[in-house]
Amino acid sequence: MQERSAETRADILASAEKLFSQQGYEGTGVAEICSQAGVSKGAFYHHFPSKHAVFMTLLEDWLNILDRQMQYFQGNAKSVPAALIDMAGMLRFVFQSAGGKLPMFLEFWSQASRDREVWQATIAPYRRFHQLFSDMVQRGVQEGSLQTTNAQETAWVILALATGILMQGLLDADGAAWDEVGKHGLEALMKGLSPSQSETEKA
Task: Closer to its own copies by CB, 7 or 199: give it.
Answer: 199
To its own copies, the closest distance from the beta carbon of 97 in angstroms equals 18
Q: Which CB sits closer to its own copies, 44 or 129?
A: 129
Q: Is residue 104 within 8 Å of residue 122, measured between CB atoms? A: no
Q: CB of 121 within 8 A of CB of 60?
A: yes
Per DSSP, the three-state class of 172 is coil
Task: Determine the Cα–Cα distance for residues 49 and 30; give it in Å rounded to an integer.
Answer: 11
Q: How far is the CB of 7 from its own copies (least distance, A)?
A: 28
Q: In this complex, which beta carbon is closest to its own copies, that of residue 8 or of residue 105?
A: 105
CA distances from 105 to 101, 112, 113, 168 (A): 7, 11, 13, 12
Q: Which is nearer to its own copies, 36 or 46 (CB)?
A: 36
Least distance (Å) between residue 42 CB and its own copies: 27
Please give the residue ranges that form the binding site for its own copies (CB under 8 A).
21-27, 102-103, 106-107, 109-114, 119, 122-123, 126-127, 148, 150, 152-154, 156-157, 159-165, 167-168, 170-172, 175-176, 180-182, 184-185, 187-194, 196-197, 200-201, 203
Residues 6+ apart with CB under 8 A from 166: 91, 94, 102, 105
